[in-house]
């Protein structure tokens, strides 16, 4: 049975699940959600996910939402990306929660405000404030990655797949890889993982389609 992932290219949260699926070797296919056309706000979609968010993963009778839950499910099915020991498992979860709390939640919103809102609707104070908070988050990640190739242990885990969610996108949101050398090197390690794809190559939909 092919796993279906309801997603769209601009969603870094969807990318976390899509990249985990792709690199795990599971059989999956993307199903385009026209988020910018309002598809996630319809009653039908709310029925699928009261949270009104993509991604949604459907595997037979099972429907999952929240990328973190999908990542845990992929680990359960394949044994991959969850950490090699109990201590690593906890450390992976720790960075997944931190990412949801402090990193992707803010990069996702900021990128939206700075790129996908009409120019006259972009809230300058909110943008500046969020950029400040994100600098603190980048500092935390960059510090942790000093002397490490991966966030946890000796290889790619859900911690990496979660934290990188928004960091490959080309649209400006105040993040420049050159300013964060350890993050830059770590993103390079992810890019060099066999089978890696950029979000706009892995999922349908991109700003180019709407240009």
Could you list the residues that contact a copy of itself (CB under 8 A)?
A: 50-52, 64-69, 72-73, 90, 93-94, 96-98, 100-102, 104-105, 123-126, 129, 136, 140, 143-144
Taking the complex as a whole, how short is the minimal distance between the CB of residue 69 and a copy of itself, in angstroms?
5
Taking the complex as a whole, how short is the minimal distance between the CB of residue 1 and a copy of itself, in angstroms?
18
What are 10's two structure tokens? 């601009």
Taking the complex as a whole, how short is the minimal distance between the CB of residue 48 and a copy of itself, in angstroms?
13
Count of other CB atoms within 10 angstroms of residue 91:
17
Q: How far is CA 111 from CA 6, 106, 107, in A?
A: 21, 8, 6
Nearest CB to a copy of itself, comparing residues 123 and 170: 123
Token look-up 């400006």 returns: 172
Taking the complex as a whole, how short is the minimal distance between the CB of residue 171 and a copy of itself, in angstroms?
20
Count of other CB atoms within 10 angstroms of residue 73:
19
What are 89's two structure tokens? 């498992």
Task: Tell me the CA end-to-end span of the chain in Å, nearest whole number.
Answer: 35
Taking the complex as a whole, how short is the minimal distance between the CB of residue 161 and a copy of itself, in angstroms?
14
Helical H runs in the chain?
12-24, 43-48, 67-78, 86-98, 104-111, 124-144, 158-163, 181-191, 199-202, 207-210
Nearest CB to a copy of itself, comparing residues 54 and 96: 96
Nearest CB to a copy of itself, comparing residues 14 and 96: 96
Nearest CB to a copy of itself, comparing residues 66 and 157: 66
Token look-up 């890696």 returns: 196
From CA 201, how far away is CA 207, in angstroms rounded?
12
Nearest CB to a copy of itself, comparing residues 24 and 71: 71
The residues, ordered by sequence, that sit 6+ positions from 97 with a Cβ below 8 Å of its Cβ are: 68
Taking the complex as a whole, how short is the minimal distance between the CB of residue 199 and a copy of itself, in angstroms?
18
């Amino acid at each position: 049975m092919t796993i279906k992932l309801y997603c769209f290219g601009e969603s870094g949260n969807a990318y976390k699940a899509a990249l985990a699926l792709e690199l795990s070797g599971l059989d999956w296919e993307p199903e385009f959600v026209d988020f910018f056309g309002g598809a996630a706000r319809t009653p039908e979609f709310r029925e699928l996910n009261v949270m009104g968010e993509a991604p949604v993963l459907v595997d037979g009778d099972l429907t999952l939402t929240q990328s973190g839950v999908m990542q845990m499910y992929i680990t359960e099915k394949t044994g991959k990306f969850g950490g090699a020991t109990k201590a690593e498992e906890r450390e992976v979860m720790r960075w997944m929660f931190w990412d949801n709390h402090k990193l992707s939640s803010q990069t996702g919103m900021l990128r939206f405000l700075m790129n996908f809102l009409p120019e006259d609707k972009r809230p300058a104070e909110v943008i500046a404030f969020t950029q400040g908070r994100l600098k603190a988050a980048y500092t935390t990640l960059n510090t942790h990655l000093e002397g490490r190739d991966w966030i946890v242990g000796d290889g790619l885990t859900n911690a990496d797949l979660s934290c990188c969610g928004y960091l490959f996108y080309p649209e400006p949101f105040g993040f420049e890889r050159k300013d964060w050398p350890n993050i830059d090197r770590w993103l390079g390690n992810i890019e060099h993982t066999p089978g890696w794809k950029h979000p706009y190559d892995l999922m349908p939909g991109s700003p180019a389609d709407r240009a």
